[in-house]
Amino acid sequence: MKTNTKYIFVTGGVISGVGKGIMAASIGAILKAKGLKVSMQKCDPYFNVDAGLLNPREHGECFVTQDGAETDLDLGHYERFLDEEMTGNSIWTSGKLYKHLIDDERAGKFGGKTVQLVPHVTGLVQQTFLDNAAHFKSDVHIVEIGGTVGDMEGQHFIEAIREFGTRVGRENCLYVHVCYVPWLSTSQEFKTKPAQNSLRDLREFGIIPDMVVARMDVDKLVKAPHVASKLATFCAVSEDAVVLMPDAKSVYEVPLNAVKGGVLAPLERFIDHGDPDMTQWEKLVKSIEANPKEEVKIGLVAKYIDNTDTYLSVTEALKAAAWKVGVKLKTVWIDAEKATEDDFAAVDGIVVPGGFGVRGVEGKILAANYCLEHDKPYLGLCLGLQTAVIAAARRGGVKKANSEEFDASKDANVVYIMEGQKGKESTGGTMRLGNYPAKLVKGTLAEKLYGTTDVVERHRHRYEVNQRFVKEIEKGGLKISGTSPDGKLVEFVEGIDTKFFIATQAHPEFRSRPYRAHPLFEGLIRASKK
Ligand code: GLN
């Protein structure tokens, strides 16, 4: 089979959580900086069809793509590093693969054949690589395999990437193995044995990687010269294909660190396309390291303060805005269940992020009320718009105002369930998901921040503002500043006569980029600056 696209497969070894996704995305960023068209995808071993129903405490943020898929937070990294919008097909879980195959089997598409792990599951995995590369018209398509090599549940992915090399030609595939090299403090040395073992596991599948990334403790790096040669000798890779990657202060340093660590030699053997222009990353790291004196404290009123990865895109969007404005960001986590006015008084601005379920919601309404009362900068994201509307309606006389999601009588349901959503509350993939346009009202803060009246943002919600209560909401201090083009759904609200109080039914955080702050977040940081 002939191919114009090159494929990079990134596997992990020893332990998970050492930044395989960031490394994969950084390789993508470097190739993009060489002028190549790069796309990415993740293969995740778990059996959930998507991340929509996963508990964020366990799994972190549910990232929403433009076409409305509820995915893993790694796709957020891919978008921030590549500045390319992913699709629902940019992630394939085992659950999604099996569902697809079983649906085809039930539809009689296999013509009487026995459906098997090899070649059917592995074949479908490979088809997703080809389809994505074709869809994005990529020069290089990067595939990250979730988990670590040797995990029972990820074997079909490893087998698929091995077969794929034979299918499209080994020269068109680059295998990258990211493994952890622990520091042993008792003997004061790095230990490569676990990495050697994971490379042996990979060899058992018939894969000898073209690049080995050794993740290690930064402070001890001076004691590391033997690591590359040892891994090279024991693992059948050349020494210049072993890239030592110390911990970085910020994930956005990783593309530059990877270049310094020697990623270009093995990459350029694979695809020769001139030097990468890393200016964008150099500029970004400079602004991260600028260390400005002025500090802005932003309170995040949230439910999962024990797993802040739940709000990853929000915190990344806040950081990007602070770098742009040139202030030091201090994120203060405010437990929505225990929040008091003192917590809100102690910060310069407040974000109420998205969320589901009644737990902590009164704390979020209290935050919105406090900001309206004290003219404190407020940015509401999805649920954060709904809590703002509830707060305003209560101030405007609807004493029992609430959302139908929590507890609302028919005469106080200022937020109610959207048409067609009833009965679907605990099902997957059924919300209003993905990109939707909004029309902003001329002369509003929303229009001023965006610099246009036509915006598109990503969505993930089931409930919406009940426009029957517009008068009371206005009396309580909020006006509608943007709706769906047909006027039916409220997309933006903002304070009447406030310095900065704005909320959107969407999730603008998904479209923020580290080097291109989102206007709503930038606005919040500017307004929160003393
Ligand atoms: N739970 C709310 C809804 O479904 C808000 C969702 C969110 O914040 N993403 O409408």
User: pLDDT tens across 165-201, in order?
Assistant: 999 999 999 999 999 999 988 988 899 999 999 999 9
Report how far ligand 1's centroid is from the alpha carbon of 385 (Å).
9
Q: Give the helix ranges, DSSP H, for 148-211.
A: 155-168, 193-204
Q: How far apart are CA 525 and CA 321, in angstroms?
A: 7
* Distance, CA of 171 to CA of 269 (rounded, Å): 10
**CATH superfamily name and code, 292-529:** Class I glutamine amidotransferase (GATase) domain (3.40.50.880)
> Active-site residue 374, yes or no?
no
CA distance 383 to 67: 21
CATH topology of domain 6-284: Rossmann fold (3.40.50)
- Residue spans in the chain of domains classed CATH 3.40.50.300: 6-284
Task: Report the alpha-carbon distance of residue 180 to residue 176 in Å, rounded.
Answer: 13
Nearest-CA residue for ligand 1 atom 8 is 354
From 382, 457, 461, 494, the catalytic residue: 382
Ligand 1 contact via 23 beta carbon (within 6 Å):
no
β-bridge mates for residue 154, sequence order: none
CA distance 457 to 489: 14
Q: In which order are the strands placed within the sheet that holds 402-403?
A: 402-403, 413-417, 463-465
Two tokens at 74? 């790694």
Q: Is 509 a catalytic residue?
A: yes
Burial class of 492 by CB neighbour count within 10 A (0 to 12, 13 to 18, 19+): buried
Q: Is 405 in the pocket of ligand 1 (CB under 6 A)?
A: yes
- 257 pLDDT more than 80: yes
Confidence at residue 294, expressed as pLDDT on a 0 to 100 scale: 96
Using alpha carbons, select from 244, 279, 238 the residue that is nearest to residue 263: 244
- Quote the pLDDT of residue 2: 55
Catalytic residue flag (residue 382): yes
Q: Note the pLDDT of residue 227.
A: 87
- Which of 303-317, 413-427, 476-490 has maximum average pLDDT? 476-490
Residue pair 509/314 in contact by the 8 Å Cβ criterion:
yes
Alpha helix stretches (DSSP H) within 329-360: 341-345
In the prediction, which pLDDT does 149 show?
A: 95
Of residues 120, 156, 459, 507, which has the active-site annotation? 507
**45-73 mean pLDDT:** 93
Compute the average pLDDT of residues 489-518. Answer: 97
Residue of the CA atom closest to atom 3 of ligand 1: 461
460 falls in which pLDDT band (50, 70, 90)?
A: very high
Q: Which two tokens stand for residue 436?
A: 């939707």
What six digits make up the tokens of 84? 């390319």
Ligand 1 atom closest to Cα of residue 463 = 10
What is the pLDDT confidence band of residue 425, given thresholds at 50, 70 and 90?
confident
In this structure, are residues 242 and 227 in contact, taking their beta carbons and an 8 Å threshold? yes
User: What distance in Å separates the CA atoms of residue 410 and residue 469, rounded to the nearest whole number?
Assistant: 12
Three-state secondary structure call for residue 179: strand
Task: List C-alpha distances in Å: 118 to 9, 125, 159, 177, 477.
Answer: 19, 11, 9, 23, 62
Structure tokens at 374: 């004290």
% of the chain beyond a pLDDT of 70: 98
Q: How far is the CA of 464 from the centre of ligand 1 (A)?
A: 9
Alpha carbon nearest to ligand 1 atom 7, residue: 354
What average pLDDT score do residues 298-327 get? 94
Q: Looking at the chain, which residues constitute the CATH 3.40.50.880 domain(s)? A: 292-529
> Which residue is listed with tokens 């008084």?
345
What is the model's pLDDT at position 236? 86
Q: 3-state SS of 312-326?
A: HHHHHHHHHHHHHHC
pLDDT confidence tier of residue 1, bands split at 50, 70 and 90: low
Please report which confidence band the pLDDT of residue 3 belongs to, taking 50, 70 and 90 as the band edges.
low
Q: Which two tokens stand for residue 444?
A: 């509003």
**Whether the CB of 383 sits within 6 Å of ligand 1:** yes
pLDDT at 57: 86
Q: Give the ligand 1 atom nearest the CA of 431.
A: 4
Given a cut of 70, is residue 90 above it in pLDDT? yes
| Atom of ligand 1 lying closest to residue 464 CA | 10
Give the lowest-confidence range in 236-250, 309-323, 350-364: 236-250
Six-digit token pair at 300?
A: 């995040």
- Report whether pLDDT(471) > 60: yes
Per-residue confidence band for 157, with pLDDT thresholds at 50, 70 and 90 = very high
The pLDDT score that the predictor gives to residue 217 is 80
Q: Which residues contact 17 (CB under 8 A, 6 or more apart)?
A: none
Using DSSP bridges, classify how beta strands 173-180 and 6-13 pair: parallel, antiparallel or unpaired: parallel
Which DSSP string do the residues of 425-485 spell out, in sequence order? TT-SS-SEEEEEEEEEPTTSHHHHHHTSSEEEEEEEESEEE-GGGHHHHHHTTEEEEEE-T
pLDDT digits (tens, 9 = 90+) for 106-132: 999 999 999 999 999 999 999 999 999
Q: Which of 134, 200, 153, 157 is nearest to 1 (CA)?
A: 134
pLDDT at residue 222 above 70? no
Average pLDDT, whole number, for the chain?
A: 94
